[in-house]
């Protein structure tokens, strides 16, 4: 009996059907019918900008990783140091 009281209770869960209706009514009351499309448009633009920025950062990181993997070869010198010293 005591064990049942000790189980964690999930207080927050996904809203059900009637709760969604209540949420929609509250949003309609706060913003009105004309402001909701503008609100959704703004949210859409924000999400699009966030995703674009996320892809940009991801591509920069991948490009940096590719640059790190490519090791440029240094050209080998054909003349030795003693050939370059002029003893004239």
Distances (CA, A) of 73 to 8, 13, 68: 61, 58, 13
Q: What is the pTM of this model?
A: 0.47
**How much of the chain, in percent, has pLDDT values that exceed 70?**
66
Q: Which of 9-13, 37-41, 47-51, 79-83 has the lowest mean pLDDT?
A: 79-83
User: Side-chain half-sphere of 88: how many Cα atoms within 13 Å?
Assistant: 3
Residue 76 or residue 29, greater confidence: 29
Residue 1 pLDDT > 60, yes or no? no
Which whole number is the average pLDDT over 43-52? 96
A 10 A CB-CB count for 22 gives 12
In angstroms, how far is the first alpha carbon of the chain from the final one?
Answer: 104
Mean pLDDT of 9-28: 81
DSSP code of residue 8:
-
């Amino acid at each position: 009996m005591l064990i049942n009281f000790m189980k964690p209770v999930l207080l927050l869960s996904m809203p059900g059907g009637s709760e969604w209706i209540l949420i929609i009514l509250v949003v309609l009351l706060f913003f009105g019918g004309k402001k909701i499309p503008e609100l959704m448009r703004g949210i859409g633009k924000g999400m699009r900008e966030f995703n674009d920025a996320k892809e940009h950062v991801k591509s920069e990181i991948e490009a940096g990783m590719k640059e790190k993997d490519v090791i440029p070869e240094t050209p080998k010198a054909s003349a030795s140091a003693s050939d370059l010293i002029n003893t004239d």
